[in-house]
Structure 1
Amino acid sequence: MGIGRLILGTGLAAGVGFATYLTLTHQDPVTWGHNVKRQAQQTSAQLEAIRQAKDRVAANAQKLSDAIEDGTQTLNAIQTQVDKFQFKVAPRLAAIEETLDHLDAS
């Protein structure tokens, strides 16, 4: 019986508090209910927008990760080609430098 009275007292206090709030703010319960419903819908829409933004960020982060990996592979391939080119050109450059040194010495 003590719990029942506690629940009843709490309910009455909440009701009196709510009635006082409506009186002080000059609102009727229907208008207050519509405002609460509108605020709940706005909050729901905002949460959905946040969820969609989070999904877009995750998708874009994955795209960025893929692009970085592809770029790394491309840079490695370019570096390999540059190394091969330098290896092939090195003897010719050495011969050119030797000829230039010989011409400078003369």
Structure 2
Amino acid sequence: MGFGKFLTGVTLATGVGLAAYFTLTKQDPRVWAKQLGDQVKDTANKVDDVKTAKDNMTTKVAALNATVTAATPAIEDIQSDVEKFAFKIAPRVEEIQDTVSRWDKF
């Protein structure tokens, strides 16, 4: 069996199948073809939307990474200042805790 006969058989079977489908569902082939074309266009548009969203997300992630990298020195400076402040107020916090614990005893 050659490829030509196989292709002819597949085409003929598809045609007979479609004819049976249209007859059983009482559907107009032109309307069906238009609906199929609309679905294909809609699917292609959705694929394009997904690709656009992916590109936008990639751009936004790159911008976020750059911002985090640029903010790292400022965050480290803030952390250092917080540690210095905590060290400076530690004796006062201890005094406050001692006073509160004495009050709790009464």
TM-score range normalised by the length of the shorter chain: 0.5 to 0.7
Describe the superposition over 1:61-100 as per-residue Cα deviations: whole angstroms up to 9, x where unpaired. 01110111011122345567x4xxx6xxx9xxxxxxxxxx
Equivalent in the alignment of 2:51: 51
The equivalences for 1:65-84 within 5 A come to 65-78=65-78, 82=81
Could you tell me which residue of structure 1 aligns to residue 95 of structure 2?
Answer: none
* Structure 2 residue runs without a partner (length 5+): 89-106
Summarize the Cα distance change of 1:15–1:71 in structure 2 as closer, same or farther, 3 Å threshold.
Answer: same
Aligned counterparts, 1:1-106, within 5 A: 2-78=2-78, 82=81
Count of residues in correspondence between the two structures: 84
Task: Name the amino acid aligned to 2:15.
Answer: G
Shift of 1:6: 2.2
Where relative contact order (Cα < 8 A, 6+ residues apart) is larger, the structure is: 1
Distance 1:79 1:11 in 2: 73
In the superposition, the TM-score normalised over structure 1's length comes to 0.66
How far off its partner does 1:35 sit? 0.3
**What percentage of aligned pairs have identical amino acids?**
33
Cα shift readout 1:19-66 (whole Å, capped 9, x = no counterpart): 111122221110011001100110011011101110111011011101
Match of 2:103 in 1: none
Tell me, in whole angstroms, the C-alpha distance in 2 between the residues paired with 1:52 and 1:2.
45
**What is the identity, as a one-letter code, of the residue corresponding to 2:44?**
S
Query: So what's the TM-score if we normalise by structure 2?
Result: 0.66
* Cα distance in 1 between the residues matched to 2:55 and 2:4: 47
C-alpha distance in 2 between matches for 1:3 and 1:69: 61
Task: Give the greater-gyration-radius structure (CA).
Answer: 1
